[in-house]
A and B are shown apart, each in its own frame.
Chain A
Amino acid sequence: MDKKSHPIDTYFREALKDHRVEPPGSGREAFLKEAGKTGRAEKKRNLWVLGMSVVLLILSAGILVYITGDHQPDAERRQSITEPAAVTAEGSMSQAPAPGKTSGTTAQQVSGPTSPCQPVPLRQTTTCAPVMMPSNPGAIPYSGEEVMEIAENPGIPAPVRSSSFISPLVRITFQDFPYSGHAREIIPLETLSEKKEKKVTLRNESGYQAGFYVMPEVMFNTLEEEKFAWNLGAEGSYYFRDFSITTGVGLSLTKGTRELMVEYNDYLGTYSNLDSISFYWNENHTQVIPTYYMTDKDVWDSLMKLDYPKVIKRYLYLQVPLMLGYDFWKNERCSFGVRVGPVLSVMMDSKRLSDDYDPGKNRVIAVNNITPDRISLNWQIAGGLNFSYLPDGRWSLDLEPEARYYFNSVYEKSEIRKKPWSIGLKAVISLDIKK
């Protein structure tokens, strides 16, 4: 019979077409109250994520400031003042240490001028730059008490003194040196900072780098709320001037939960079903003896029930990034820039970690996937800040707070309208191949 042609059906369908019944106002209030609660929980979660992101950024910035800033402790600084400097003017400065050399001049003894750039008396031979070396007896290497002492005993070799001071550009040590009569020499700054400049130029040249990275990542807008993933891999970079191109291969490991909806009937037990009875006489033919043939029959409830078991799976993705970089600030040890580019993700493997759903003796009517399968290929755009630190000229450590936006969902047939996105912190250790 045609479903829609039955008069009773049509009659009732027409009678209640667009029928509305006004619900009570208390129901509306209760709904709005409940909805507000869930909204607040979501806002709280978003705030937590935002807070974590800010903490990560502050942490990264703090590390950057620490590795670039002058954080030498005072005690260390004082010690360095009393010790001979690493950079000395060879020749005239290192010649002929005087007999009766004494050492161990305290910081107080040499701390006459508190600033190395402080104006000094005319007889002082040291300035910040260029460095002037004493070459005649009238020239006194330092001011303060030492200067007075030397001035009172002209022509006598100065007592052994070792003093130094720190300049923002160079540190110069005054060893005891006799009046030698040499002409004043000018030591160019280039010579003194040669090594440092070398490092700076290295960063400016073009070259290759290869390294390994690891990145914890938190994904949002998935069917399973936030998801955590580990990314690790190898990457290679080509850099020139302030620009760089990076690519590589990596693996991304994440766990996922697949929810199923199982429709089933409860198992109620068994009963013995009588199939047949046969009779026979006893030996004396005085009694009929029946034989019952029974089989056990299972019984299930006719009421359909639903169960929502979850299956935990582990997914392994191959990731191929192509990142373009630009460093907008750099010095000899650090650089600060941005990295942006697409990332291709291909699912390589999925492994079930939990056991299969076991319905027991219940009768399964249907099993439906609530969580759709994972998509095998997706594209992301990744972008982040890059802090790079070079402990020496060859190795570098990079820290990259990174955000990713997924162009397509990670699920097949997903009904989620919002695309997933993620934040992560990438740590890279790389080696300069060119050197």
Chain B
Amino acid sequence: MGEQSLLCKVVKKDPEALKKLYDDYAPKLFSLCMRYMGNRADAEDVLHDGFIKILENLPGFRMGPACNLEGWMKRIMVNTALNYLRQRAKENRLISFDKVGEKIDVSDEEFSEEDTFPVIPEKEVILEMIGNLPTGYRTVFNMYVFEEYSHREIAAMLGCSEGTSKSQLSKARVMLRNSLASVFEKEKRY
């Protein structure tokens, strides 16, 4: 079934097409949700809400060379995740961009091009490292690295300054590097 015909059937709420859409895209999108939410339970909620939004907005989606289905679905899922985080922030679990986690003053210059990490651990371990980041760091890191938003866009979307976005990213990098180092250290021991 081609993507276009699949979409037509999904718009008509064909049960088989709905199943196929979910089976084809849910694993990738669930990975995205895990990255943003940091835990499985919240990621499941976001995935569900995101898929319902996708279904509601699908009649308005126009496939084209500059707009592929997967990219469009990912954008919806990211927005759903951000809304979910904002909602949580309302419930006094604010995403703080300056006070979360330990204070690490680090500049990007501390990293060099020669920094290499030869062994890539299990993807689940990588995912866990990202999940362990404080919410603010994690959100900025995901948006910048995986969704490739600029700091200006991130600042606009999260309602913070560009400087805050940059510092959050730097701190996230440092934390991740330390996490990687500790993982490699453990592996060396064994």
B30 and A36 contacting across the interface, CB-CB below 8 Å = no
The answer for the CA separation of A304 and B123 in the assembled complex, in Å, is: 32
B27 and A31 contacting across the interface, CB-CB below 8 Å = no
B126 contacts chain A at the CB level, 8 A cutoff = yes
A7 with B117, Cβ < 8 A, contacts A303-B86, A366-B156 known: yes
Chain A's nearest CB lies how many Å from the CB of B81?
14
A15 with B159, Cβ < 8 A, contacts A27-B47, A35-B18, A416-B60 known: no
Q: List 14 interface pairs A-B (beta carbons < 8 Å), by A numbering.
A: A3-B150, A6-B108, A8-B115, A16-B126, A16-B146, A18-B28, A19-B31, A22-B30, A35-B52, A38-B13, A303-B159, A304-B158, A305-B86, A365-B156
Looking at the complex, which one of B48, B115, B144, B146 makes contact with A7 (CB distance below 8 Å)?
A: B115
Chain B's nearest CB lies how many Å from the CB of A21?
5
Q: Give the residues from 97 to 127 in chain B that come closer than 8 angstroms, CB to CB, to chain A.
A: 97, 108, 111-113, 115-117, 120-121, 123, 126-127
Looking at the complex, which one of A15, A20, A304 makes contact with B126 (CB distance below 8 Å)?
A: A15
A9 and B145 contacting across the interface, CB-CB below 8 Å = yes
Chain B's nearest CB lies how many Å from the CB of A154?
87
B159 and A32 contacting across the interface, CB-CB below 8 Å = no
B78 contacts chain A at the CB level, 8 A cutoff = no
A263 and B159 contacting across the interface, CB-CB below 8 Å = yes
A265 with B159, Cβ < 8 A, contacts A8-B111, A21-B27, A30-B48 known: yes
A434 contacts chain B at the CB level, 8 A cutoff = no
The answer for the CA separation of A6 and B120 in the assembled complex, in Å, is: 16
Looking at the complex, which one of A18, A304, A417 makes contact with B157 (CB distance below 8 Å)?
A: A304
B120 and A11 contacting across the interface, CB-CB below 8 Å = yes
A-facing mask of B120-158, CB < 8 A → 1, else 0? 110100110010000000000000111010100000111
A16 and B123 contacting across the interface, CB-CB below 8 Å = yes
B157 and A32 contacting across the interface, CB-CB below 8 Å = no
A99 contacts chain B at the CB level, 8 A cutoff = no
A76 contacts chain B at the CB level, 8 A cutoff = no
Looking at the complex, which one of B120, B144, B148, B160 makes contact with A302 (CB distance below 8 Å)?
A: B160
Q: Which A residues touch B163, using CB under 8 A?
A: none
Q: Which A residues touch B55, using CB under 8 A?
A: 35, 38
Additional A-B contact list (10), CB under 8 Å, known A15-B121, A415-B61: A6-B108, A15-B123, A16-B31, A16-B123, A16-B126, A19-B31, A20-B28, A31-B18, A32-B15, A304-B159
The answer for the CA separation of A304 and B127 in the assembled complex, in Å, is: 26
A32 and B148 contacting across the interface, CB-CB below 8 Å = no
Q: Which A residues touch B26, using CB under 8 A?
A: 23, 27-28
The answer for the CA separation of A365 and B161 in the assembled complex, in Å, is: 12
Looking at the complex, which one of B28, B35, B59, B144 makes contact with A3 (CB distance below 8 Å)?
A: B144
B51 contacts chain A at the CB level, 8 A cutoff = yes
Chain B's nearest CB lies how many Å from the CB of A403?
20
* Chain B: interface residue total (CB-CB under 8 A): 58
The answer for the CA separation of A42 and B158 in the assembled complex, in Å, is: 35
Q: Give the residues from 1 to 57 in chain B that come closer than 8 angstroms, CB to CB, to chain A.
A: 13, 15, 18-19, 22-23, 26-28, 30-31, 34-35, 44, 47-48, 51-52, 55-56
Looking at the complex, which one of B44, B62, B108 makes contact with A23 (CB distance below 8 Å)?
A: B44
A32 and B27 contacting across the interface, CB-CB below 8 Å = no
Residue in A closest to B50 when the chains form the complex, CB atoms = A31
Looking at the complex, which one of A18, A21, A27, A36 makes contact with B48 (CB distance below 8 Å)?
A: A27
Q: Which A residues touch B94, using CB under 8 A?
A: 303
A13 contacts chain B at the CB level, 8 A cutoff = yes
B145 and A12 contacting across the interface, CB-CB below 8 Å = yes
Looking at the complex, which one of A14, A24, A304 makes contact with B120 (CB distance below 8 Å)?
A: A14
Residue in B closest to A8 when the chains form the complex, CB atoms = B173
The answer for the CA separation of A34 and B23 in the assembled complex, in Å, is: 16
B126 and A6 contacting across the interface, CB-CB below 8 Å = no
Chain A's nearest CB lies how many Å from the CB of B15?
7
Chain B's nearest CB lies how many Å from the CB of A119?
66
The answer for the CA separation of A31 and B115 in the assembled complex, in Å, is: 44
Looking at the complex, which one of B60, B159, B180 makes contact with A305 (CB distance below 8 Å)?
A: B159
A278 contacts chain B at the CB level, 8 A cutoff = no
The answer for the CA separation of A7 and B111 in the assembled complex, in Å, is: 8
Q: Give the residues from 184 to 223 in chain A that come closer than 8 angstroms, CB to CB, to chain B.
A: 223
Which of A7, A34, A38 has most B Cβ within 10 Å?
A7
A12 and B126 contacting across the interface, CB-CB below 8 Å = yes
A-facing mask of B49-78, CB < 8 A → 1, else 0? 001100110011110000000000000000
Q: Give the residues from 207 to 253 in chain A that come closer than 8 angstroms, CB to CB, to chain B.
A: 223
A306 contacts chain B at the CB level, 8 A cutoff = yes
A35 with B48, Cβ < 8 A, contacts A8-B173, A416-B60 known: no
A23 with B156, Cβ < 8 A, contacts A5-B113, A32-B22, A38-B13 known: no
Which of B59, B61, B86 has most A Cβ within 10 Å?
B59
Q: Which A residues touch B159, using CB under 8 A?
A: 263, 265, 301-305, 365
Residue in A closest to B130 when the chains form the complex, CB atoms = A12
Chain B's nearest CB lies how many Å from the CB of A263?
7
Residue in B closest to A30 when the chains form the complex, CB atoms = B48
Q: Which B residues touch A23, using CB under 8 A?
A: 26-27, 30, 44, 47
A269 contacts chain B at the CB level, 8 A cutoff = no
